[in-house]
Structure 1
Amino acid sequence: MGKSCCGSNKADHSNNACCSQTTGTEQNNDQDKLTVSNEVCCNAEEENAESEPDSSCCSGNSEIKEDKAEDDCSNKRTFVIEGMDCPSCAASIEKAVNKIDGLEMIKLNYNTAKLVAAGTEKALDAVPLEVNKLGFTASMEDRGGFTSIYEIEGMDCGNCAKSIESHMRRLQGVNDVTVSFSTGKMKLSHSNKNNEMVKEIEKLGYKAVLVNGTANKLSSNKQRSKEMISIYFSGGLIAIAFFGSFYGLSNLIGVFLYAAAIAINGYKPIKAAFYSLKNRSLDMNVLMSAAAIGAALIGEWFEGATVVWLFALGNVLQNNSMEQTRKSIRGLMDLAPAEAWLKTSNGMSRVPAEQVSLNSLIIIKPGERIPLDGEIVKGSSSINQAPITGESIPVNKTLGDQVYAGTINEHASLEVKVTKLLEDTTIAKIIHLVEEAQDQRAPAQAFIDKFASIYTPIVFVLAFGIMIIPPLLGLGGWSEWIYKGLALLIVACPCALVISTPVAIVSAIGNAAKQGVLIKGGTFLEKAGKIDAIAFDKTGTLTEGKPNVSEVHTFHGSEQKLIAIARTLEEYSTHPIAHTIVEYAKKQEIETIEASNFTNIAGKGVQAMINDETYYAGNPKLFKEMGVDLKPVADSIKRAIGHGKTIVLIGTRQMILGMIAVSDSLRPTTVNALQQLDNIGVKQIVMLTGDNEGTAKMISKETKVNRYFAELMPEDKVDTIKKLQEEGHSVAMVGDGINDAPALATSELGIAMGGAGTDTAMETADIVLMADNLEKLPYTIRLSRKALSIIKQNIAFSLLIKLAALILIFPGWLTLWMAVLSDTGAAVLVILNALRLLRVRSE
């Protein structure tokens, strides 16, 4: 064949060396919502031959698999792999995928980032999961057509989403489909007409609306109105039939009214049940339809009508409650205005935001929301950044500062140069990350889903056994046992249990996003709730990360002359401290002195010739090596170092003229944030720094951290995290998401601070604090703990309700309508309990 399976014939490299950017991306390991469509392998060989260059295969058994695939025409899929940054990454993926049973061929091309696989459906479904375990992302290649987003109404549990996925995947022209119960959306890659797709969803008993702004809101409201009218009308029919039986209403008319109520409320679930059975899915529609029809067949018309009516009412209540959680996300989408004031040679014109190109100039009037990310080129104003960062106090912005879409211009007009297109703005990325996060299952959710997948079929079989076996053994009449079996059928649906975890996660993640905190999935929400130790990088996290001149001491001559000499020397240095001294001199309006022969002295300082004499600026070590007497200034140096300051001495070979002390100041919110963490019971608050012992000790006293570790190299920070873990702590690491990547990856939870406008931080960390301070961290821990508590409450409540219902069936105390109420009622209560997470606020 001559095709490469990994895109490279180079020698294997270290994964740690080449794949560093994927470190800390464990959030992808739960993306099992990814669904893919089948393709036949026969017609794809030529297509791939054109796009993939010849190179050798990386593993020994890939060619064998290719030959087998040619002989046996099996299912074939093409995946796009994201995150590979070197050929050895491709080799690692290829080796892992090779181990999947049932695959007959795999070809991974590093250059095109495409993986072509052929084999059984089960094996192909496992490919993206295996790739994601390695920290990369595998998604189905788009085979033409287009992608549409639909809002799906009527789903009341995760099984509904699976039934829709299963049905849509079988349709011709559908390449890929993902249905998210949490967000109520379906993402469909297809080549069919949208109205055809909507009709297919309606066949299942749900309502699908193509996302297009106001139109779908109106359609949604209209649909809800119709549902409520049906419920009121059918409820009236049941009431007339029931109470009429006490006042001489004939049984025939009563049966007719009950049957009409069943037809009105049962049409959609029975239709949906048909397609669910066709797709081999046992969802609530199947169980409820069987119970209603069975009740009618044994003459329990009132029970059958009541079951269907309560089911319809419960669905409406569930959908309305779930809508509250989904609004927490959809509200983000309305933050950025749809139009912008574009500045042109002819003046200003109002245009759609998506039509504005990069580097265009837009005008932001006072009181308006900013439509696109950009840089201020004219004007200054205060900007309310709460929609992005959660900061309550507006931030002053002037020339050269960045502004973000969705934030509010409070005072003066601004002229802004657009730096990001509509789909790339910070708010767009937040929305995308939050929606992705809701589709990633938490460990508790994965366990519950597995439990439900076993529980439902077992109880379903048990229900049919109860209907048939006892009457055959002469232990009672058919009607009695069929009735009990029908009640058990309803109890078999674990709706409240299945919904208990995701609805809490959606509520918490949505609330956090509004507060300026990005939580990238239920896994990390759970982990944050269990954290009992937090390690902070000092520079740029606890401190501003911008050194400032804090002291100037003159031993010979005037202070102005000292600063002038310091500026002259440091202006040619690239060291951050040198830059700080130059900026300080500029603010003091002190000019440089004419000088020559500038020289950097590596690791020690700088020198230059001024007025025929050589002057030096550097650390004490430099002057000590030159034999300069430091005794007269020793006390000043010792005191400054003891306060955590960095010392720059200015002088000649004969004497020290003066000393400039530079220090990194604490952020204003740091002490309060750490105090709050201590108040909510975080056992260990630890500071990690590369600074000297004196600086670390001084900062630790000011911040009141429990422990500190000083003079650390990046690899030492990793060892420190491991040490805390060995002590039995569940550790979170807080850093900037870039320099602290190894430590962020080693900890149970990586938290990046200052994510607004920082793509790397948003991509690498598990949780991102959008504001450039720590004030939202205590809120995040409290919210996560509250979410864990509510998840446990919901699971316990759901299991107890099921257990109680099962116990009450056998004495005959559980009626069909009570069984429905125990299921739909429990689901509604679980949702309402989770909605409490939307009210958690930062203090």
Structure 2
Amino acid sequence: MDKILWKVEGMTCSNCALSVSKVLQKQGMQQVQVNAITGDVSFETLDAANMLTIAKKNINELGYHVVDDSVVAVEKKKPFLGTYLEKFWFTLPFTLVLMTAHWAMYFHVHFLHNAWLQMAICLPVFIVGMNFFGRSAVKSLRKGIPNMNVLIALGSLAAFVYSFIGTINGNETQIFYETAASIISLVFLGNWMEDASVESTRKTIKELTKQHKVMANMIAYDDAHNENIFPIENTFLKTGDLVLIKSGEQVPQDCKILSGEAEVNEAIITGESVPVFKKQGDILIGGSVLANGNVKCYVTATGKDTILNGIVELMKQAQGQKPPMQLLADKISAIFVPTVVSISVVTMVVNYFFLHIGFGDSLMRSIAVLVISCPCAMGIATPAAIAVGLGRAAKHGILYTKTDSMELFAQIKQIVFDKTGTLTSGKFQISNFKSDIEETDFKKLVYSLEKFSNHPIAKSIAAAWKTQEVLRWQNIEEIKGLGMKASDKEGNIYWIGSAKIDARITDTSHHLYVTKNNTVIGWIDIADEVRPEAKAVINYFKSKGITTILLSGDSQTKCEQVAKQLGVDKVIAEQTPQQKLDVVEALCKTAPTVMVGDGINDAPALAKATISVSLSAASQLAIQSASVVLMNNGLQKLPIAMQLGEHTHNTIKGNLFWAFFYNIIAIPFAAIGLFTPTVGALLMGLSDVVLALNSLRLNWKKVASI
């Protein structure tokens, strides 16, 4: 299966996305994902030629425009009246003249009362409108995916045809050319306003995803091995290229430091403006800025392989997901157009046959129902809020990988923290040790075991006791929740881990034990510092009435010490990864639960939590299991993540309430004649703008930091 990536322009809501998705699925495409806000479309197909051409044609026929990223863009001549705004300005003068004709008695322009003249003035507007709305409506009906243009086309067509019949019969009481023209003109204006408002919700994501072109100082060597430095655009850099980055310059691509030291501002990723110290061997993230210092580096990743792009892709995937509240809106949007057409017909019948309203007025009420209805309002309610919420979170160094977390944060009753590397800094020091063998041999043995582990404690020990003399193992593996196990070529079995590695260990007061063939040959005590922000974070959640729980594989004594220091409500210690998973699963059954962790041991439990939070310095497995990733390597942004999630949830609720309220109120009002078709067309366009503006308020919602 080939994976295809497209950009589809012209989508403004999930109703549009649903139409595009159905076209692709009918064409046999699989794994279809459509993001209405960003315009990103991805799918898999077996036939990368014929089916793609047909699918692209079908989507274009619905009124959208497919931009194929796999094909080099060729600049085409801009079509006449190619944008909504151009169409609006073209139709506006004709519409204003017809509106003047409608009120001719007040403006003393009686010659405009001529029905044939009004038809001639309306005709250009009607042709432009039908060329867009009519064609799109017919094609959507042929494909069994009726879109909003069906409502607009039916409304304007009914007004024009009824007026044309009146013109032929010489009946001036059924001339409504101004209605047909005003519907078309105002919907063009509304579509432009809708596009403009939706575009404003994309800006934050675009700023993050935009590839800034900067000049890099590339290092090259001539035949005499002399170093030469010359400027090159960062987009031309390749993996392995050498670059010099000076103080104040932007890191051109992901790099690894070969020599030099620097303080680096990584606000583009972490949201923190405080510079981070970097030295030889450290990774520099493309887009970060050297606040002070000069370094020589080699490029480790470019373009789509960079860390920043990986974050952007996660954000795009998150935007494509549908939170729980969106599912109801999608179901309603899918049947919205046929339902409104049915209501419009019923309106016509009831007004004319039962209420004995004149046929012309009954028709106008029926048309008003068609044009005032807005399926896009329900469709845009959630995606617009999600887009703004994700963008603001990214600015704070918070990455939501699952958008339903933004809704679920509002329901959370308890939060579970791992200890090591989460509530504590993960920066460990060896406070004491004892061995039955020579100290040098003991350190060499421990380093040879721990260098293969990803656990924070193991990394700290390996860094402290690093040596060039390393033992060679026949076999070595990391046993989750226990420690490292290795065997040498003589068949000796070595372990390093907690007291759980051997049931015969009776003195469990030390952190780590080293055994050889089931005999303890030494122990190590570790000191770990509590994160400076941890107590404030715990206090914040307690102030919200959320129960705080410490869940760890460490000893009961060590966990209780940390819990007492921070004021944690409950301690569950000495847990294996399976036990952690069972505990979190049980907690989630009692109440919605957040799990915060960073190690391999935490990955299974993270996957079971209602919301899983991981730190950016965590193991890759933990990050993949998380629905929220804090990019600042600390807990200080966790309260902000929760507040932004709650604000986004409330904004979605407000948007959906407005969307449902608007349609529930507007349609009956139109049906009883309180709104004319012209007013209905204007209100329909404004409804989407209201939702977009309400979503943009998320950018200024107050969040309390600790």
State the TM-score, normalized to the length of structure 2: 0.78
Over aligned residue pairs, what C-alpha RMSD do you find?
4.2
Correspondence 1:497 to 2:359: no
How far apart in 1 are the matches of 2:15 and 2:276? 46
8 Å Cα contact 1:353-1:422 kept in structure 2: no
Aligned residue among 693, 718, 721 for 2:584 = 721
Correspondence 1:158 to 2:21: no
Aligned residue among 38, 42, 55 for 1:183 = 38
How far apart in 2 are the matches of 1:769 and 1:696? 23
Deviations 1:65-95 (A, max 9, x none): xxxxxxxxxxxxxxxxxxxxxxxxxxxxxxx
Equivalent residue number for residue 447 of structure 1: 328
8 Å Cα contact 1:356-1:421 kept in structure 2: yes
In structure 1, what residue type is equivalent to 2:558?
T
How far apart in 1 are the matches of 2:581 and 2:83? 59
Cα 1:406/1:824, change in 2 over 3 Å: same
Cα 1:168/1:436, change in 2 over 3 Å: same
Correspondence 1:770 to 2:634: no
Correspondence 1:344 to 2:201: no
Equivalent residue number for residue 189 of structure 2: 313
How far apart in 2 are the matches of 1:741 and 1:578? 18
How far apart in 1 are the matches of 2:255 and 2:23? 44
How far apart in 1 are the matches of 2:461 and 2:343? 80
Aligned residue among 64, 68, 82 for 1:206 = 64
8 Å Cα contact 2:347-2:366 kept in structure 1: yes
Equivalent residue number for residue 573 of structure 1: 446
Cα 1:734/1:271, change in 2 over 3 Å: same
Equivalent residue number for residue 279 of structure 1: 143
Q: Secondary structure at the match of 1:668?
A: coil
Cα 1:289/1:786, change in 2 over 3 Å: same
8 Å Cα contact 1:570-1:579 kept in structure 2: no
Deviations 1:616-635 (A, max 9, x none): x99999xxx999xxxxxxxx
Correspondence 1:293 to 2:157: yes
Structure 2: gaps spanning 5 or more residues: 163-174, 223-227, 451-456, 470-481, 484-495, 515-522
Correspondence 1:686 to 2:549: yes
Equivalent residue number for residue 570 of structure 2: 707
Q: Tell me: higher relative CO, structure 1 or 2? Use CA pairs within 8 A at least 6 residues apart.
A: 2
Equivalent residue number for residue 487 of structure 1: 368
Offset of residue 463 of structure 1: 1.8
Q: Secondary structure at the match of 1:413?
A: strand
8 Å Cα contact 1:152-1:186 kept in structure 2: no
Q: Secondary structure at the match of 2:426?
A: coil
Correspondence 1:526 to 2:407: yes
Offset of residue 488 of structure 1: 2.1
Deviations 1:220-250 (A, max 9, x none): 9999995434424433432333235233331
In structure 1, what residue type is equivalent to 2:206?
R
Offset of residue 474 of structure 1: 8.6
In structure 1, what residue type is equivalent to 2:563?
S
Q: Secondary structure at the match of 2:601?
A: coil
Task: Identify which range, 305-314 or 190-199, moves more after superposition.
Answer: 190-199
Aligned residue among 604, 607, 620 for 1:742 = 604
In structure 1, what residue type is equivalent to 2:288?
T
Cα 1:412/1:688, change in 2 over 3 Å: same
Equivalent residue number for residue 57 of structure 1: none
Cα 1:158/1:661, change in 2 over 3 Å: closer
8 Å Cα contact 1:744-1:765 kept in structure 2: yes
8 Å Cα contact 1:801-1:822 kept in structure 2: no
State the TM-score, normalized to the length of structure 1: 0.67
Equivalent residue number for residue 201 of structure 2: 325
Equivalent residue number for residue 731 of structure 1: 593
In structure 2, what residue type is equivalent to 1:735?
G
Offset of residue 319 of structure 1: 1.0
How far apart in 1 are the matches of 2:54 and 2:231? 36
8 Å Cα contact 2:183-2:371 kept in structure 1: no
How far apart in 1 are the matches of 2:577 and 2:524? 29
8 Å Cα contact 1:342-1:360 kept in structure 2: yes
Aligned residue among 311, 314, 332 for 1:433 = 314
Correspondence 1:807 to 2:663: no
Matching of residues 436-475 of structure 1 within 5 Å: 436-468=317-349, 471=352, 475=356
Correspondence 1:251 to 2:107: no
Deviations 1:405-428 (A, max 9, x none): 222222233221233343221111
Correspondence 1:695 to 2:558: yes
Deviations 1:682-713 (A, max 9, x none): 51111112222322122112222222222222
In structure 2, what residue type is equivalent to 1:234?
T
Correspondence 1:238 to 2:84: no
In structure 2, what residue type is equivalent to 1:764?
S
Offset of residue 783 of structure 1: 0.7
Deviations 1:692-743 (A, max 9, x none): 23221221122222222222222222233234334x3210111116321221
Offset of residue 165 of structure 1: 4.4
Equivalent residue number for residue 648 of structure 2: 787
Cα 1:837/1:269, change in 2 over 3 Å: same
Aligned residue among 527, 534, 537 for 1:673 = 537
8 Å Cα contact 2:8-2:67 kept in structure 1: yes
Equivalent residue number for residue 655 of structure 1: none
Q: Give percent identity, aligned residues only.
A: 27
In structure 2, what residue type is equivalent to 1:397?
K
How far apart in 2 are the matches of 1:284 and 1:412? 58
Deviations 1:153-178 (A, max 9, x none): 3x232222333444567789x99965
Aligned residue among 684, 691, 705 for 1:830 = 691
In structure 1, what residue type is equivalent to 2:604?
P
In structure 2, what residue type is equivalent to 1:297?
V
How far apart in 2 are the matches of 1:274 and 1:204? 9
Cα 1:168/1:722, change in 2 over 3 Å: closer
How far apart in 2 are the matches of 1:176 and 1:566? 58
Offset of residue 540 of structure 1: 0.8
Matching of residues 503-518 of structure 1 within 5 Å: 503-518=384-399
In structure 1, what residue type is equivalent to 2:194?
Q
Cα 1:254/1:326, change in 2 over 3 Å: same
Cα 1:586/1:807, change in 2 over 3 Å: closer
8 Å Cα contact 2:13-2:376 kept in structure 1: yes
How far apart in 2 are the matches of 1:688 and 1:364? 43
Structure 1: gaps spanning 5 or more residues: 1-140, 554-561, 593-602, 605-616, 628-636, 650-658
In structure 1, what residue type is equivalent to 2:138?
F
How many residues align? The count is 633
How far apart in 1 are the matches of 2:678 and 2:684? 10
8 Å Cα contact 1:387-1:514 kept in structure 2: yes
Cα 1:832/1:819, change in 2 over 3 Å: same
Q: Secondary structure at the match of 1:813?
A: coil
8 Å Cα contact 1:184-1:326 kept in structure 2: no
Equivalent residue number for residue 273 of structure 2: 392
Cα 1:682/1:317, change in 2 over 3 Å: farther
8 Å Cα contact 1:731-1:749 kept in structure 2: yes
How far apart in 1 are the matches of 2:233 and 2:646? 42
Correspondence 1:816 to 2:677: yes
8 Å Cα contact 2:412-2:546 kept in structure 1: no
Correspondence 1:367 to 2:254: no
Cα 1:818/1:833, change in 2 over 3 Å: same
Deviations 1:624-665 (A, max 9, x none): x999xxxxxxxxx99xx7xxx85999xxxxxxxxx9963110
Offset of residue 768 of structure 1: 1.5
Cα 1:437/1:310, change in 2 over 3 Å: same
Offset of residue 805 of structure 1: 1.5
How far apart in 1 are the matches of 2:125 and 2:263? 60
